[in-house]
Amino acid sequence: MRLKALNLTSGKLKTFSHSDCQFGYRDSIFKREEKGKWCITSVVFSLTKSPHKLNTSYGDISKTLESNGISNPSIADISRAVVQIRTSKLPDPAKIGNCGSFFKNPETDRSVLERILATHPQAPHFPLPDGRVKIPAGWLIEQCGWKGKRVGNTGCYERQALVLVNYGGATGKEVKNLAEAIIESVERTFGVRLEAEVNIWPGSS
């Protein structure tokens, strides 16, 4: 895998290898030390037509395949299921302004999870290879009462709490203020601090 990016200062193109990008969970050098310096113009992926194992355990993929009557899914079946799930949960940007998923799913120590489970035994979570756990940010936000809530011209989408929407006329600062209010609310309730997945430029207004 590799990509090409345009340097916003010099105007020159540069090729970055997979290792150059330092990819992590919704993370890369373009969100850290190289943030705001490049515009990615193209990417090259290495794909296989014969995967050893299809992963259908994430999210609602298994449930969607089952509801569609598919017991032995192909790659195309899984792709269609993912599109179906996203279409049902995410707003159409042509109708409601949004930038998709706004927050990362937090990765935290198991001790934090145990504290949450003490008051919320059904809290969803996923184990990570390093012994930590991932907790769905959408669930945390929903438990704090934000899902479907409207604040001025902004709000949390009614079908997916991870998505912040602009109902029309909202400024960047309004969206940023909403995001900060949600972050503070979740941290106060669960002791978990959410991180924005989107890039927020200084002086957003």
User: DSSP 3-state assignment of 96?
Assistant: coil
| Residue 162: band (very low, low, confident or very high) from pLDDT cuts 50, 70, 90 | very high
CATH number of the domain at 129, please. Answer: 3.90.78.10
Within this chain, do residues 29 and 84 fall inside the same structural domain, yes or no?
no
Could you list the residue range(s) of the whole structural domain that residue 186 is in? Answer: 97-190
- Does one domain contain both 38 and 67? no
Answer whether residue 204 is part of any domain.
no
Instruction: Give kind and range of the element (H or E) at residue 6.
Output: strand 2-7
Q: How many CB atoms lie within 10 A of CB 164?
A: 28
For residue range 87-131, list pLDDT tens digits in order: 888 888 888 889 888 999 999 999 999 999 999 999 999 999 999
Residues 27, 107, 79, 1, Cα dihedral to 10°:
30
200, part of any domain: no
74 lies in the same domain as 37:
no
Q: Does residue 140 share a domain with residue 69?
A: no
Residues 112 and 186 in one domain: yes
Q: Is residue 102 part of a domain?
A: yes
CA-to-CA separations, 67 to 61, 64, 76, 80, 178, in angstroms, rounded: 10, 5, 16, 13, 36
Contact call for residues 146 and 139 (beta carbons, < 8 A) = no
In a shared domain, residues 120 and 167: yes
Q: Are residues 147 and 170 in the same domain?
A: yes
**pTM for the model:** 0.74
> Into how many domains does the chain fold?
3
Q: Which of 89, 120, 155 is the last residue of a domain?
A: 89
Q: One-letter amino acid identity for 60?
A: D
64 and 18 belong to one structural domain: no
- On whether both 25 and 69 belong to a single domain, the answer is no
163 within domain boundaries: yes
Give the C-alpha separation, 125 to 109, whole Å.
12
201 in any annotated domain: no
Which amino acid does the sequence have at 199? Answer: N
Long-range pairs for 108-115: beta carbons < 8 A, 24 or more residues apart:
108/132, 108/133, 108/134, 108/135, 108/192, 109/133, 112/190, 112/191, 112/192, 115/191
Residue 47 is predicted with a pLDDT of 82
Residue 196 placed within a domain: no
Whether residues 76 and 131 fall in one domain = no
- Where would I find the beta strands (DSSP E) of 11-119? 13-17, 38-44, 97-101, 107-108
Q: Outline where DSSP puts E strands in 45-132.
A: 97-101, 107-108, 126-127
Mean predicted confidence (pLDDT) in 171-177: 92
Residues 116 and 65 in one domain: no
Residue 152 confidence (pLDDT) above 60: yes
Q: Is residue 186 part of a domain?
A: yes
What is the per-residue pLDDT across 32-49, written as a single tens digit (0 to 9) for each? Answer: 899 889 999 999 998 877
Active site members = 26, 101, 197
d(CA 102, CA 154) in angstroms, rounded, equals 13
* 186/101 same-domain check: yes
